[in-house]
Amino acid sequence: MIRKTRLFTPGPTPLLPAAQFAMAAADIHHRTAEFRALYTKVLAQLKDFVGTKNDVIILSSSGTGAMEAAVSNLTSPGDRVLVLTAGKFGERWTALAKAFGCAVDVVSAPYGQTFSIDAVKAALKLETRVVFMQASETSTGVRHCVPAIAQLLKDQNHEALLVVDAITGLGTSHLDMDAWGVDVLIGGSQKAVMIPPGLSYLAVSDQAWDRMEASYNPRYYFDLRKERKNAKNGESAYTPAVALIAALGAALDYIAGQAATAENPAGNLAEGRKMLVENAETIAAMTRAAVQALGMTLFAPDAPAAAATAVIPPAGVDSGVVVKELKSRFGAIITNGQGEMKGQIFRIAHLGFFDYMDTIALIGALEQVVAKSFPPAGFAFGNGLIAAQKLYAERSPTAAADAKCICGRTDHACSLQNPSFGTK
């Protein structure tokens, strides 16, 4: 039987065909008028995709490079910073801040949960210079409430900068950097923008740019001030990943085109971004409904992300069985848990170039794995598919938008309304 390999991983994600074509044709030098025009266009598009008036900087690195740049550019040795963590990527903020000599305070929540606003408020000190957090923690499938943290800083008139790793949050959550008061928002190329790994980008507020002039941690390649200066002339400070930037331009054109109208056939990137988020929200909800109908448990039931769904298999079942069976039998690549969660959860991604058909196919394959390896009492083929189909039929973009909290969640009250959210 023919078997096609399909990625259902939270990064790299499936590649957009138009982006692949753009990479193949990107035989241009980076110090030419042709590239400067492309680079200028992509930087402007990224502002619309992020949804900000702030300058956006592109780095030739993975998302971790942008995280390091945020730390090195905004802090000095000895600065007190606050890290909000509930997973492997939150823990990365802690390691980076310590590597650059910061005094690190940490608010942590158990894997599968998010932190409470009360705990953040208690940990915030007058001398806290920066708060680091994730929008979406894909190691556990949890979504954090960014606006609640931003509002807390506003309410206290605190001078701490808010830096958000939105590498898997962009394109899966409705984010409003400018209105909320986020100072740095970080994205990555191998996520919702549907191109290969190798680029990261940062939207940076005026307050953050000012802070860079007063901070003195070492930086060279990741000096954001150099990139900002060169970007004004349509260039990068160092040799850029030309083909990836061409791919990014094609991907952003595609996202804008999803909102095309007769009056505007090129589309609208801000509206296309909203549609991309709603797509991720819908297929994530379909997946959550399906796995529960198949007798499995959500790892993050109270704060589920739309970037990826983390699932606990039945007691006594190693999650690696699901990962291996989906790959060997159906060519479907999902991810196991990371670190201490390996063998305990599996993760299915929804960000970027995934659609309804992909989701239905994966649920069908998952039913086959369940039937063979650990069928629950009362199992019948179609249980997961029926649950997903019903949810899709009942869910409309208008209803989803009306029900959504400012944080992007649709199925519970978040910490913006409920300060104890994230606590048991």
Count Cα atoms within 13 angstroms, Cβ side, for 334.
32
Confidence of residue 297 (pLDDT cuts 50, 70, 90): very high
With beta carbons less than 8 A apart as the criterion, state whether 252 and 42 touch: yes
Residues 23 and 142 in one domain: yes
Residues 171 and 34 in one domain: yes
Distance from first CA to last CA of the chain, Å, rounded?
48
Record the tokens describing residue 241, joined without a space.
């990943």
* Average pLDDT of the chain to the nearest whole number: 93
Confidence of residue 229 (pLDDT cuts 50, 70, 90): very high
Is the model's pLDDT at 296 over the cut of 90? yes
The verdict on residue 410 lying in a domain is no
The verdict on residue 272 lying in a domain is no
Residues 237 and 298 in one domain: no
Strand-pair category, 128-134 with 161-165: parallel
| Residue listed under structure tokens 């158990």 | 110
With beta carbons less than 8 A apart as the criterion, state whether 114 and 142 touch: yes
Closest by CA to 175, choosing from 421, 417, 424, 405, is 405
119-157 residue pLDDT tens = 999 999 999 999 999 999 999 999 999 999 999 999 999
Is the model's pLDDT at 321 over the cut of 90? yes
Whole-number Å distance between alpha carbons of 194 and 13? 6
The verdict on residue 65 lying in a domain is yes
Residues 120 and 185 in one domain: yes
With beta carbons less than 8 A apart as the criterion, state whether 15 and 194 touch: yes
Q: What is the domain count for the chain?
A: 2
The verdict on residue 267 lying in a domain is no
Strand-pair category, 161-165 with 184-188: parallel
371-417 residue pLDDT tens = 999 999 999 999 999 999 999 999 865 444 444 554 544 443 454 44
Residues 116 and 237 in one domain: yes
Whole-number Å distance between alpha carbons of 265 and 87? 42
pLDDT of residue 396: 64
Check which CATH number belongs to the domain holding 160 and give it. 3.40.640.10
Q: What does the pLDDT average to over 319-341?
A: 96
Q: What does the pLDDT average to over 57-63?
A: 97
Is the model's pLDDT at 335 over the cut of 90? yes
Q: Using omega within 30 degrees of 0 as the cis cutoff, is the peptide bond preceding 12 cis?
A: yes
The verdict on residue 136 lying in a domain is yes
Residues 218 and 88 in one domain: yes
3-state secondary structure of 128: strand
Looking at the DSSP bridge assignments, the partners of residue 201 are 58, 187
| Residue listed under structure tokens 């659609």 | 355
With beta carbons less than 8 A apart as the criterion, state whether 51 and 270 touch: yes
With beta carbons less than 8 A apart as the criterion, state whether 59 and 200 touch: yes
Q: What does the pLDDT average to over 10-30?
A: 96
Exposed, middle or buried, 391 (CB in 10 Å: 0-12/13-18/19+)? middle
Residues 212 and 360 in one domain: no
DSSP class of residue 340 equals G
The verdict on residue 417 lying in a domain is no
Residues 206 and 115 in one domain: yes
Q: What are the Cα distances from residue 136, in Å, to 129, 308, 366, 407? A: 22, 9, 24, 11
pLDDT of residue 181: 97
The verdict on residue 423 lying in a domain is no
Strand ranges (E), 280-418: 297-298, 308-312, 332-333, 335-336, 346-349
Residues 53 and 124 in one domain: yes
Residues 69 and 148 in one domain: yes
Whole-number Å distance between alpha carbons of 72 and 217? 5
pLDDT of residue 406: 42
pLDDT of residue 416: 44
Count Cα atoms within 13 angstroms, Cβ side, for 88.
11
DSSP class of residue 219 equals -
With beta carbons less than 8 A apart as the criterion, state whether 374 and 314 touch: yes
Q: What does the pLDDT average to over 27-35?
A: 95
Closest by CA to 163, choosing from 80, 215, 93, is 93
Phi–psi pair at 301, nearest 5 degrees: -70, -25
Residues 198 and 315 in one domain: no
Radius of gyration, alpha carbons of the chain? 21
With beta carbons less than 8 A apart as the criterion, state whether 203 and 185 touch: yes
Is the model's pLDDT at 308 over the cut of 60? yes
Looking at the DSSP bridge assignments, the partners of residue 178 are none
Confidence of residue 285 (pLDDT cuts 50, 70, 90): very high
63-94 residue pLDDT tens = 999 999 999 999 999 999 999 999 999 999 99
Please give the residue range of the domain that contains residue 326. Answer: 279-403
Sign of CA dihedral 414, 418, 423, 424: negative
pLDDT of residue 400: 46
Residues 241 and 388 in one domain: no
pLDDT of residue 397: 56
The verdict on residue 274 lying in a domain is no
